[in-house]
Amino acid sequence: MSIETLTSAVRNIPDFPIPGIQFKDITTLFQSPEHLKELSDILYEKYRDRGITKVVGIESRGFFMGPAVAIKLGAGFVPIRKPGKLPYKVIEETYTKEYGDDAIQIHEDALTKEDIVLIHDDLLATGGTMVAAYNLVKKLGVKKIYINFLIELEELEGHMLFPEEVEVSSVLKFKV
C-alpha cells in the first residue's frame, strides 16, 4: 500500500464545521482494516527505535491511533482532554484555535522526568491545539518530546510553531 492510497481514502467534507473549512474526515481510513494496519505500521516503524515510553493523545481524534501505536511501541498511553473530563488533579493550558478560545488538561502525575513522549493527533492545521499540548507535556519536565500527526495541511505551516529541536512529522500531507 502507498501513501497515495491512504491519501485518496481521506474524505473531504466542504464547509464543515463552518463555511470555508475543508474538513479532512479520517474515519474512512479507519473503516478499512488494511488502511488501519498500514497507518499503525508506518507510525511504529517511524518511532520504534526512539525509546518512546508514553504516547500522549489529544481529545478526541488523537485517541484513535494513539493507543494502537502505544501498544505496538510497548509504551503507555496518556490522554489530554478538555476541561472537566479527567478525574484527578490536572494542569491546564488555554489557547486560541481556528474557531475560538479553548483549553486542554492533563493529569499532573501522568508523565515523569524519565519519559520520552510522542504527542499524537489527527491533523495539523494552524497548530494551536498541539502547541498547547506541547506546553502541557513540557511543564511536566519529560526527557524528550516528538510530535506526530496523521495529516498536515502544508500551506498553514503549523509545524513552524515548534522549536527546532522538536521533530514534527505527518503521515499524509494535503494542500489547503
pLDDT at 100 over 90: no
Domains of the chain: which residue ranges?
Answer: 49-174
Q: Span 85-114, mean pLDDT?
A: 93
CATH 1.20.1250.20 fits 49-174, yes or no: no
- By residue count, the chain amounts to 176
pLDDT at 96 over 90: no
pLDDT confidence bin for 176, thresholds 50/70/90: confident
pLDDT in tens, 31-50: 999 999 999 999 999 999 99
Specify the pLDDT at position 21: 86
CB atoms within 10 A of CB 57: 26
pLDDT in tens, 52-64: 999 999 999 999 9
Say how far apart CA 153 and CA 81 lie, in whole Å: 23
Distances (CA, A) of 2 to 7, 69, 153, 172: 9, 19, 19, 11
Specify the pLDDT at position 29: 93
pLDDT in tens, 1-28: 799 999 999 999 999 988 988 899 999 9
pLDDT in tens, 115-164: 999 999 999 998 999 999 999 999 999 999 999 999 999 999 999 999 99
Enumerate the active-site residues: 61, 98
Per-position DSSP letters for 75-133, written without gaps between them: -EEEEEB-TT--SS-EEEEEEEETTEEEEEEEETTS--TT-EEEEEEEEESS-HHHHHH
Q: Span 66-70, mean pLDDT?
A: 97
Q: Span 68-82, mean pLDDT?
A: 98
Q: Name the phi and psi angles at 14, rounded to 5.
A: -70, 145
pLDDT confidence bin for 98, thresholds 50/70/90: low
